[in-house]
Structure 1
């Protein structure tokens, strides 16, 4: 089992899974209701979308996202460099992430590891809907635009070049690095590329990112 990240979710369900399509309609409607309850903009999820994702890992262990979150939290302090892990996060790493998450401001940090939604709506901060709102992931709603902003912050500390965005050549390099277990940042590179691609398409096509 691992985390899979999808864009064009409703369109895919409509084409391939009638029962899943009905569930996706209901789930995304709950997300829009939660946004409306906070007097925030909503969006209309397309039922047909052209999703062109560059090669990346389709799924990865749930734990991998924590390594990218650690890198992001460290990057906020603008260190001279980013120390790699030895494949394990320390108690200090977890404390830093918990402290930053408590600010309730980060789209990357304030989100479920296993399920949930990022919407193609530019939100300054994530939305914390009621747990009984029908929004997966405990009611946490992130913004695809906000997620991209945070990925831009951590990118240079992972050796990722944005000029001003992620080029095809750089995306291919990151994909290769993600599969190289000798690379001390292979987990971070894997998750960075998967999230970048999902957020890029989400913003361009007006479709939500769905964690499953």
Structure 2
């Protein structure tokens, strides 16, 4: 299975529009942020020349995302990070053994094909009944960026010279394969790097340009 990463610009012409398809989501996120004593999702004035369009910034398959989450958890818990050809029961055991640790990770504790990251800095993913009913925990783009920077050296990645994300030519069907790019396919951590590149590009843009990241 594959997914696209969308960037939703947080500008007033989009966020305050009655036709904004993310309006209910933003209201829900702001309500949960307030419950945790955090500021609302930042919405900026529109600047002429800046596109307020939703943008598909990257795509990857979910296996690659789970490979990346596995590598991050192994590094975080002190285990050796080694390449694998397929996800097996050891990944499920890792999640079970370190469930409390996983629940504190913006990278790991995020529902597949749902949920969002917002450019508000908070330590751990936010969980509330209204979030779980509508898409899963809410992540921080800043928190996701920190975790991606932490796992990068384990995958042979220099965050100052990151690999480019793989952009889809059109909407990616859920069942469509979307593996690592050919020029990186022989790398032992090709799958991890594939998901890392997409998430890192999205998180960087989210923080610097005030956008929301949405899985679709």
**Aligned in 2, Cα 1:9/1:74: closer, same or farther, shift over 3 Å?**
same
The 5 A counterparts of 1:16-95 are 21-46=19-44, 48=46, 50=50, 58-78=58-78, 82-86=81-85, 88-95=86-93
Match of 1:149 in 2: 146
Q: Which consecutive residues of structure 2, in runs of 5 or more, have no partner in the other structure? A: 167-178
Q: Kindly state the Cα deviation for residue 43 of structure 1 after the two structures are TM-superposed.
A: 2.0
User: For the structure 1 residues 133 and 67, does the alpha-carbon distance in structure 2 shift closer, same or farther, using more than 3 Å as the test?
Assistant: closer
In 2: Cα distance, 1:135 partner to 1:207 partner: 23
Q: Give, in whole Å, the separation in 2 of the partners of 1:197 and 1:61.
A: 16
- Aligned pair count reads 193
Shift in CA distance, 22/157, structure 1 to aligned 2, threshold 3 Å:
same
* CA positional deviation for 1:183: 2.6
Matched-pair contact (CA < 8 Å) for 2:126–2:138:
yes
The aligned counterpart of 2:199 is 195
- Match for residue 179 of structure 1? 181
Q: Which residue of 1 aligns with 2:214?
A: 210
State the partner residue of 1:112.
111
Structure-2 separation of matches of 1:112 and 1:159:
27
1:136-167 residue CA offsets vs partner (Å, 9 max, x unmatched) = 423x00111111111111110000113xxx33
Distance in 2 (CA, whole Å) between partners of 1:91 and 1:204 is 38
Provide the C-alpha distance between the structure 2 equivalents of 1:202 and 1:65, rounded to a whole number of angstroms: 19
Provide the rounded CA distance (Å) in 2 between the counterparts of 1:123 and 1:135: 21
2:60 and 2:180 in contact (8 A); partners too: no
1:200, CA displacement in angstroms?
0.4
The alignment status of 1:5 with 2:9, answered yes or no, reads no
TM-score, length basis structure 2: 0.76
More helix per residue: 1
> Is the 8 Å Cα contact of residues 26 and 41 (structure 2) preserved in structure 1?
no
1:47 CA displacement: 7.2
Deviation at 1:83, TM superposition (A): 1.2
- TM-superposed CA distance for 1:97, in Å, is 2.5
Q: Deviations over 1:50-104 (max 9, x none)?
A: 58xxxx972222222111000101111445x631111x11211221133334332
